[in-house]
C-alpha cells in the first residue's frame, strides 16, 4: 500500500507540475479583448519564407515571429494566428526543434485563461489520496512494530550502553594512572558509539511509528543529551584530560539511564 501511495503521489506531482507550468500559457483562440495589456514572455511563432519553410539564422536556428515583450495587439495576434495555421497546414521538420502549435506565454496569470486548472485540481486530489494511503500504511506498520516487540530491542540497546558506560567509569576511576587509562576510554567509547548507532539510531523509524511527535521529541532529546556527553567524554579523553572525561562519562551513564527510563515510560503509555 505504501508503494502504491508513493506511486500515486509521484504521478500526481508530475501532472500537477506540468499543469502548473502551463499557468501562463494561453491559447490564441480567445477573443481579442482578452489579450489586452498582455505581452509575450516567450518568443512565439516561426518565421516562414515564401516557400513556407522556416527561415534559419546563420547558426541554423529558426527565428520566431514575435519576441519577448511584444504586446498582443490585434495585429500581432493576426500574425500569430496566420503563422499557426500555416505551420499546421504544412508542418516543417527541423532536426532538434519542435514546431510550435500556437500556444503563447504571457506575463499575467488568470484562472479564467488557465486551461489546465482542472488537471491541477485532479493532481491535488491525487496527492492527497496518495498521502492518505502512505499514512494508512504507516499506521499498519506501527501495529506490526508494536506486536513484533522491536521496541524492546531499543530499550535493551540503551540499557546495554548504560551498563557499558558505568563499567568503563568504574574501571577508569579506579585506575592508579588515569592518564594512562585514556586511550582505553577512547577505544571503548568509540565501540559504545558504534553499537548505539547500529542498535538504536538505525531503528528510530520503529519509534517514530509508535510514539506521538511530542513524546518522540522528549525521548530523543534525552538520548541526544547522553550522546553529547559521551562524545565529550571521548573528545576530552583524546586530549588526555581524565577529570573532564570521567565527569562527562559519569554524566553520559546517568543520562543514558534517563533516556532509557523515558523511552520505557513512553512505550508503556502507548
Q: How many CB atoms lie within 10 A of CB 253?
A: 24
**Residue of the chain from 113, 145, 188, 234 that contacts other proteins (CB under 8 A):** 234
Of 120, 122, 123, 121, residue with least CA distance to 12: 123
Which of positions 183-202 make contact with other proteins (CB under 8 A)?
Answer: 186, 190, 194, 197-198, 201-202
127 contributes a contact to other proteins by CB under 8 A: yes
Of 10, 14, 90, 15, residue with least CA distance to 46: 90
Q: Quick check: 61 and 96 in contact, CB under 8 A? A: no
Q: Quick check: 54 and 98 in contact, CB under 8 A? A: no
**Residue of the chain from 232, 263, 266, 267 that contacts other proteins (CB under 8 A):** 232
**Residue of the chain from 29, 31, 33, 37 that contacts other proteins (CB under 8 A):** 37
**Residue of the chain from 157, 161, 192, 230 that contacts other proteins (CB under 8 A):** 230
CB closer to other proteins, 15 vs 267: 15
Provide the grid cell at 258: 534517563
Tell the smallest beta-carbon distance from residue 267 to other proteins (Å).
17
35 contributes a contact to other proteins by CB under 8 A: no
Q: Quick check: 34 and 113 in contact, CB under 8 A? A: yes
Q: Which residues pair with 105 in a beta bridge?
A: 25
Give the span between the Cα atoms of 193 and 190, in whole angstroms.
Answer: 5
CB closer to other proteins, 123 vs 267: 123
239 contributes a contact to other proteins by CB under 8 A: yes
Which of positions 60-119 make contact with other proteins (CB under 8 A)?
Answer: 60-65, 68-70, 96-98, 100-103, 105, 107-109
Tell the smallest beta-carbon distance from residue 143 to other proteins (Å).
15
32 contributes a contact to other proteins by CB under 8 A: no
Q: How many residues bind other proteins (CB under 8 A)?
A: 117
Of 198, 173, 179, 148, residue with least CA distance to 253: 173
Tell the smallest beta-carbon distance from residue 145 to other proteins (Å).
14
Phi, psi of 53 (to 5 degrees): -90, 150
Amino acid at each position: 500500500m505504501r508503494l502504491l501511495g508513493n506511486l500515486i503521489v509521484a504521478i500526481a506531482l508530475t501532472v500537477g507540475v506540468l499543469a502548473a507550468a502551463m499557468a501562463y500559457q494561453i491559447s490564441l483562440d480567445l477573443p481579442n479583448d482578452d489579450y489586452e495589456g498582455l505581452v509575450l514572455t516567450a518568443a512565439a511563432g516561426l518565421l516562414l519564407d515564401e516557400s513556407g519553410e522556416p527561415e534559419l539564422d546563420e547558426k541554423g536556428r529558426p527565428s520566431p515571429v514575435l519576441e519577448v515583450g511584444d504586446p498582443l495587439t490585434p495585429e500581432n495576434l493576426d500574425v500569430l494566428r496566420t503563422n499557426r495555421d500555416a505551420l499546421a497546414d504544412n508542418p516543417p521538420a527541423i532536426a532538434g526543434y519542435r514546431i510550435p502549435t500556437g500556444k503563447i506565454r504571457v506575463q499575467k496569470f488568470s484562472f479564467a485563461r488557465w486551461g489546465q486548472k482542472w488537471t491541477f485540481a485532479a493532481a491535488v486530489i491525487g496527492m492527497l489520496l496518495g498521502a492518505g494511503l502512505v499514512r494508512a500504511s504507516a499506521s499498519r506498520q506501527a501495529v506490526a512494530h508494536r506486536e513484533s516487540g522491536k521496541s524492546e530491542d531499543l530499550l535493551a540497546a540503551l540499557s546495554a550502553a548504560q551498563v557499558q558506560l558505568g563499567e568503563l567509569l568504574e574501571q577508569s576511576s579506579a585506575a592508579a594512572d588515569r592518564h594512562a587509562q585514556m586511550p582505553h576510554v577512547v577505544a571503548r567509547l568509540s565501540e559504545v558509539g558504534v553499537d548505539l548507532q547500529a542498535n538504536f539510531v538505525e531503528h528510530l523509524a520503529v519509534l517514530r511509528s509508535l510514539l506521538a511527535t511530542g513524546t518522540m521529541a522528549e525521548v530523543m532529546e534525552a538520548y541526544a543529551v547522553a550522546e553529547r556527553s559521551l562524545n565529550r567524554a571521548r573528545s576530552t579523553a583524546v586530549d588526555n584530560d581524565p577529570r573532564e572525561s570521567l565527569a562527562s562519562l559519569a554524566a553520559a551513564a546517568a543520562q543514558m539511564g534517563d533516556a532509557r527510563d523515558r523511552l520505557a515510560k513512553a512505550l508503556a503509555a502507548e
